[in-house]
A and B are shown apart, each in its own frame.
Chain A
Amino acid sequence: MKTIIKYVLLDLMRNKVILFYTIILAILAVSVLGIDDNPTKGLLSLLNITLLFVPLITILFSTIYFFNAIEFTELLLSQPIKRNKVILAEYSALTVSLSAAYAVGIGMPLLLLVSGIASFILTLIGILLTFVFSSLALLIFVKCRDKTKGIGIAIATALFFTLLFDGFLLAFIYSFSDYPIDQAVVGIIAFNPIDLARVLMLLHLDVAVLMGYSGALFKKFLGSATGSIFSIACILLWIIVPLLLSVRIFNRKDL
């Protein structure tokens, strides 16, 4: 398994898309942090950039990578090795390289220009979201036979979590505003990894009350520490559950 990770990483490190992704992130980070003297504002802008782009790019790149590597995967599977090791190795190499791109592009400028716990949390969020959305990409890959369909579903998934979900949540809050739904809303947020990531960041910026309904609710019901643990635990579930499901399906998949 280590062998496959090593060689796939060597391949990905020379991948132009990943290089480009790193550079764009670095430019964004440096310019956003340079514009304003207030580091909290810079962090919030970077948070929004992260929440919008990391899921979309990760899920698209990963899905395309898995589909393109299908013949290579078959070749690896015809060697004496367990099935789940092959797919987990490819997943690991992919997440490691995309996370490294984020850590270098956003994490490094952040830690150099605005050190502190909030910078660390934002880097962590980017990496966690990378893991979540490559897990989802893997799930899409094992469920779909067709590449075009897979990419379509990947785009739809990313858009659902970045845009649609919050729309539904708002509609829900408005239509049930006469009832005590606060706790229900906190529960619903757990179904969107991007919202979880946002809440995790806001809890550490002391602007939770200013930043809308979900942040305020989290602070009120869970407090900073419990809220952080709750959201990290939920994000970890968003990584592990799709991953385990994918491995199960892949073990019985016809290639």
Chain B
Amino acid sequence: MIKIEHLCKSFGKFAALKDINVHMRQGQAISLLGPNGSGKTTLIKSILGLVIPEKGNITIDGQSVKRDWSYRSLIGYMPQIGHYPDNMTIDQVFALIKEMRKETQDYDEELIRGFQLNKLGNKTMRSLSGGTRQKVSASLAFLFSPSVYILDEPTAGLDPVSSELLKEKILKEREAGKLILITSHVLSDLEGIASHIIYLQDGELLFYRSVEELQAATGEEKLNRVIAHIMKNESRIAKTIQ
């Protein structure tokens, strides 16, 4: 589905991504992990075409992200910070994106109803709390039932009920065979969702393995223990995994 080959990107002298090679397939829910500044957001933005890669290739369903922009109709993106024009209403935001993606006509409004955003339609974005804005971003990502979801810190700022609702929705989409790429620092939120883990450090891909493999390698059950174990014994584990 998403194929990344020899991807390199640097900002000035700082190398944000160093020769990344990944092949993500349908039905996977990949969790992108790594310390701050390890290149997670840069990787996501490269896939979306927001960051222009220096070297290497990214293809989605065989379409290169470099010149043709039409591949983005396959993607639903939920940004980390949802910031919208102040005086736009929720209804206007939805209408705008719907008009931009006219090729999809049947909308998945499950999240809009679940978050009860349809009752807030006339509220301006400025008057909304950070969490509600996050809900708008999430609903937008799922609105067109795309085949790839890219979710940047989706549960940050959501209340427990909404966070559960979103997680259930992500699971449902994963079972429907979609590819889900998710970054989160709240590892317990990824429990049961993530099928694979990509671990980045200093712009390098440390490993890309399924959760079962990692559990077997570390002898831990819980995801946060698994990751903690790896971070502590980083080099040794990385060797045994590879």
- On whether A254 and B50 interact (CB within 8 A), knowing A7-B96, A75-B79, A78-B75, the answer reads yes
B87 and A81 within 8 A (CB): no
Q: Does A236 contact B (CB under 8 A)?
A: no
- On whether A80 and B87 interact (CB within 8 A), knowing A254-B51, A255-B50, the answer reads no
Q: How far is the CA of A255 from the CA of B81 in the complex (A)?
A: 13
Near A by CB (< 8 A), chain B positions 69-89 give 69-73, 75, 77, 79, 81-88
A80 and B79 within 8 A (CB): no
A11 and B86 within 8 A (CB): yes
Q: Does A114 contact B (CB under 8 A)?
A: no
Near A by CB (< 8 A), chain B positions 87-143 give 87-88, 92, 95-97, 99-101, 103, 124, 137, 140
Q: Which residues of B contact A255 (CB under 8 A)?
A: 45, 50-51
Which residue on B lies nearest to A82, using beta carbons?
B69
B71: min CB distance to chain A, Å:
8
Residue among B75, B83, B96 having the largest count of chain A Cβ atoms under 10 Å: B96
B100 and A75 within 8 A (CB): no
- On whether A80 and B85 interact (CB within 8 A), knowing A4-B96, A4-B100, the answer reads no
B96 and A74 within 8 A (CB): no
Q: Which residues of B contact A12 (CB under 8 A)?
A: 87
Q: Does B49 contact A (CB under 8 A)?
A: yes
Near B by CB (< 8 A), chain A positions 2-41 give 3-4, 7-8, 10-15
Q: Which residues of A contact B86 (CB under 8 A)?
A: 11, 15
Q: Does B228 contact A (CB under 8 A)?
A: no
Which residue on B lies nearest to A254, using beta carbons?
B51
Chain A count of residues within 8 A CB distance of the other chain: 29
B72 and A78 within 8 A (CB): yes
Partner pick for B52 among A14, A15, A254, CB 8 A cutoff: A254
Q: Does A76 contact B (CB under 8 A)?
A: yes
Which residue on B lies nearest to A7, using beta carbons?
B96
Q: Does B48 contact A (CB under 8 A)?
A: yes
A10 and B100 within 8 A (CB): no
Which residue on B lies nearest to A86, using beta carbons?
B100
Partner pick for A11 among B11, B51, B85, B95, CB 8 A cutoff: B85
Q: Which residues of A contact B99 (CB under 8 A)?
A: 3
- On whether A76 and B100 interact (CB within 8 A), knowing A14-B87, A15-B87, the answer reads yes
Q: Which residues of B contact A7 (CB under 8 A)?
A: 88, 92, 95-96
Q: Which residues of A contact B11 (CB under 8 A)?
A: 254
Q: How far is the CA of A255 from the CA of B72 in the complex (A)?
A: 16
A238: min CB distance to chain B, Å:
28
Interface of chain A, main secondary structure: helix
B51 and A80 within 8 A (CB): no
Which residue on A lies nearest to B92, using beta carbons?
A7
Q: Which residues of A contact B103 (CB under 8 A)?
A: 80
Q: How far is the CA of A7 from the CA of B82 in the complex (A)?
A: 17
Q: Does A191 contact B (CB under 8 A)?
A: no
A8 and B50 within 8 A (CB): no
A71 and B81 within 8 A (CB): yes
Q: How far is the CA of A12 from the CA of B124 in the complex (A)?
A: 13
B128: min CB distance to chain A, Å:
14
Q: How far is the CA of A12 from the CA of B86 in the complex (A)?
A: 9
B100 and A3 within 8 A (CB): yes
Q: How does the 8 Å CB contact mask read for A73-95 relative to B, with 1 for contact and 0 for none?
A: 01111111111000000000000
B79 and A79 within 8 A (CB): no
Q: Which residues of A contact B45 (CB under 8 A)?
A: 254-255
B51: min CB distance to chain A, Å:
5
Which residue on A lies nearest to B97, using beta carbons?
A79
Partner pick for B79 among A3, A13, A71, A81, CB 8 A cutoff: A71
Q: Which residues of B contact A78 (CB under 8 A)?
A: 48-50, 72, 75, 77, 79
Q: Which residues of B contact A14 (CB under 8 A)?
A: 87, 124
A77 and B49 within 8 A (CB): yes
Which residue on A lies nearest to B74, using beta carbons?
A80
Partner pick for B85 among A3, A8, A83, CB 8 A cutoff: A8
A10 and B88 within 8 A (CB): yes
Which residues of A approach B to under 8 Å, CB–CB?
A: 3-4, 7-8, 10-15, 68-72, 74-83, 252-255
Q: List 20 extra interface pairs beyond A71-B84, A78-B48, CB under 8 A.
A: A3-B96, A4-B96, A7-B95, A7-B96, A8-B85, A13-B87, A15-B87, A74-B50, A75-B77, A75-B140, A76-B100, A77-B48, A77-B50, A78-B77, A80-B71, A80-B101, A81-B69, A81-B72, A83-B49, A254-B52
